[in-house]
Structure 1
């Protein structure tokens, strides 16, 4: 076996390793899959699949709603992404819709870049909540990138200015987005975020905690398109680039030889 074959083999191995590291470790990051049997005892269902999620709800496949305050955690699931409309019926309070064009607020509200379903999480006072998932298959000491879309919004029940922010937890580490200052009936637009964390264990909790003010408006955070993937090691990239360069050079030499012949 010559050196070219060896380097090409390394390049292929590096490519496969990088692809494996880039695999999304999050289950149901677009929130399209749900299981009614896993709903919490305090969940409230509207028609058309709309759900008010409360403490320890597992209605969203792979996710759990967690309480971070004194009263019941509050989050909401909008299956179509049309969160500024209310379902036709069911046990759903009309004020839970998001301010948007469908209810008279020309604030630019619309679907996230991920499209489809989305979740809103209460960030205010006694109802503050997080959306959590346990990740498995991690490598201790390895760097992982968390990507997601979020937006600051307000519910149609209320008025006034608010602030919104997302705190992302990865095991024992946390990072936060910037604080968004929302005008009355406002919508921030969708932000794309990327945070990098180093794993401490093979299994850790990924958490999205909504933080907002003031209590009771309420300030809500919209979340969609969550993914987590390993960050390729620098050595893998070097070997991959070198291998592809070698393949390209070999192909060029073959073409030149063919022309000369």
Structure 2
């Protein structure tokens, strides 16, 4: 079986692009590495408030927070109420519960399974997601990013949305994220569009891309939720965090030029073959 030069060349070109595709520099951008350190023993999957300094019994690998921030999946985020649910009435016990020692009861979001107005959907990239209160005990979600090149441009992509804590909260809310790392547009900060969320509902997922310049080989990536109104738990949602280097223009030109040359050779070869076998005039 004879393989054309163009087919072989394009295959090599495509393989080169795949092999040169940048890797995600964020560790556990889908928030799936959740561990539990409390008692009584519980079975995975774990969900609820997490982070150091909160009294929580949950951790999410590579991520740090001291705020009123939770980790959920679409299958457990609205599977209970403040009065009932996983490990009901047990302070400092995950999942689904605020864990400062005082205990605020089981903390779920409004959804179709507990009387809310919306049906939850999983993040487009799969995995779990973060729900962070933007008006109560705010605390950034952070991760230290290593292996950066000073002066290089990086593309940060993620999914975001809005929701409201289940309970006696029936007022529409707003939420958004402030994101920082290296140098952005204002001292390294960007903000997502505001999500206007009807009461007792889930907004759905939106995707955002920000570009940063690395000032150092190691930078701290930070997400801080904000929202309104106070007292109506406006939760900002975060999922599918992906940070990749933006290839330099010269590198892409080399790849594109190689592909164009391959196609050009094939076109010339085919013209010659047609002229060789063309009938004499």
TM-score band (shorter)? 0.7 to 0.9
Q: After superposition, what is the alpha-carbon deviation per residue over 1:41-75, rounded to whole angstroms, capped at 9, x for unaligned?
A: xxxx8974123124457811111114xxxxxx211
1:51 counterpart residue number: 48
Match of 2:144 in 1: 134
Structural mapping, 1:107-122, within 5 Å = 107-122=118-133
Matched residue, 2:100: none
Match of 1:160 among 171, 175, 188: 171
C-alpha offsets along residues 122-179 of structure 1, whole Å, 9 cap, x if unaligned? 1114x11221111111111111110000111101022212210100111351100111
Residue equivalent to 1:89: 87
Distance in 2, Cα, partners of 1:47 & 1:226: 23
User: Within 2, Cα distance between the matches of 1:139 and 1:162?
Assistant: 39
How far, CA to CA, are the matches of 1:174 and 1:237 in structure 2? Answer: 28
Provide the C-alpha distance between the structure 1 equivalents of 2:166 and 2:134, rounded to a whole number of angstroms.
Answer: 15
* Structure 2 CA distance for aligned equivalents of residues 240 and 123 of structure 1: 44
More helix, by proportion = 1
Aligned residues: 237
Alignment partners' CA distance in 2, 1:79 and 1:191? 17
Could you list the runs of 5+ residues in structure 2 that have no partner in the other structure? 1-8, 98-104
Q: Supply the distance in 2 between the matched residues of 1:17 and 1:111 (Cα, whole angstroms).
A: 27
What are structure 1's unaligned runs of at least 5 residues?
Answer: 1-7, 40-44, 67-72
Which residue number in structure 2 is paired with residue 235 of structure 1?
A: 250
CA contact (8 A) 1:81 1:115 kept: no
Distance 1:114 1:120 in 2: 16
- Residue 65 of structure 1 is matched in structure 2 by 65
DSSP 3-state at the match of 1:105: coil
Q: TM-score, normalised by structure 2?
A: 0.75
What is aligned with 1:148? Answer: 158
Aligned positions of 1:242-261 closer than 5 A: 242-258=257-273, 260=276
- The RMSD of aligned alpha carbons is 2.8
Question: What's 1:4 paired with?
Answer: none
Q: Distance in 1 between matches of 2:201 and 2:236?
A: 12
Q: TM-score, normalised by structure 1?
A: 0.80
Larger radius of gyration: 2
Partner of 2:109: 98
Say which SS state the counterpart of residue 116 (structure 2) adopts: coil
Tell me, in whole angstroms, the C-alpha distance in 2 between the residues paired with 1:247 and 1:187: 50
Instruction: Please tell me whether residue 170 in structure 1 is matched to residue 167 in structure 2.
Output: no
Deviation string, structure 1 residues 171-210 (Cα, Å, up to 9, x no partner): 3511001112222213222110001111111100111110
After superposition, the Cα gap between the structure-2 partners of 1:18 and 1:248, relative to the gap in structure 1 and judged at 3 Å, is same
The structure that is strand-richer by fraction is 1
Change (3 A) 1:48 1:136: closer
CA distance in 1, matches of 2:122, 2:73: 11
